Structure 1
Amino acid sequence: MLIQLVAYIMITLHAAADPAQDLPTIGEICLQQWFYAWWDCLERPGTTGDYCKAVANLAQEDCLNSM
């Protein structure tokens, strides 16, 4: 939950710093997906950091490929 909040704040502050850019970039959206997948994985019992990083990398790759 904390990681999701940090990612949301980062994207919001970036948009506030540049009013001409109201929407997050594809990279920012996919970075947020990486954080969500990583954090979601870590909350599951029995998962490891390396496994969750791999899961998050796949989620980010999938996000980038779908754009």
Structure 2
Amino acid sequence: MAEQTDAQAVKNLSGVERAALLMLGLGEKHAAEILRHMGPKEVQEIGLAMAGLTQVTNSQMELVM
């Protein structure tokens, strides 16, 4: 199977996974400010997605940011 490019990998992420990647990139302080405005279910979904992200490259992070 051919290896995905970073752009393809990001394109294949769900909206929740992209939000999780963004939160990781923002850092704890800024992510907390955003999460404060979300409901419990949304926070839980993003938290689960954050925990499930593996092998994220700097390039993928930049594409989401």
Larger radius of gyration: 1
TM-score w.r.t. the length of structure 2 is: 0.29
User: Which is bigger in relative contact order (C-alpha 8 A, separation at least 6)?
Assistant: 2
TM-score w.r.t. the length of structure 1 is: 0.29
